[in-house]
Amino acid sequence: MKSLPTLMRVKQRELDALKRQQATLEKRRDDLLNAVDQLTDQLVQELKAAEGLPDMAHFFGGFSASIKKRQETMHAQIRKLEGEIDKLAQLIMVAFSELKKLDLAYAAWKKREAEKLRLREQQEMDEIGIRGYVRKDAV
């Protein structure tokens, strides 16, 4: 049953690769969320600056629209990433369940083998005991 541990290692590597992909996508999502927050902070700072300088206020409308458009684009990217993350999470669950099935099958096989060994040893001990008893009676 040497093939089962090898298959389990392969499945574990596949699972690890999926987890790394998921972590990469989550980092990209977090970076985009941080960028959206930075744009919001920048928008607030520019609004305060525009309030302080009335002659610069007419530039604020275009700036505000461009910031909002960039934020919408980032939110679309975030939604796309979240969809990919959800798909990966499902793949991870499937891969984990496959690995767990193999692990349980291997554990059951090892338990059966241990029981076979125990029975074989018990039979040998019984045989030794019987031989000893027969010899004792013969004397």
DSSP of 58-94: HHHHHHHHHHHHHHHHHHHHHHHHHHHHHHHHHHHHH
pLDDT tens digits, 10-20: 999 999 999 99
**Digit-coded pLDDT (tens) for 15-44:** 999 999 999 999 999 999 999 999 999 888
Give the percent of the chain with pLDDT over 70. Answer: 96
Q: Please report, for the chain, the start and end positions of each structural domain, with discontinuous segments joined by +.
A: 3-99
What pLDDT is recorded for position 64? 84
* Predicted local confidence at residue 62, as pLDDT: 81
For the chain, which ranges sit under pLDDT 70? 1-2, 57, 138-139
The reported pLDDT for the residue numbered 48 is: 82
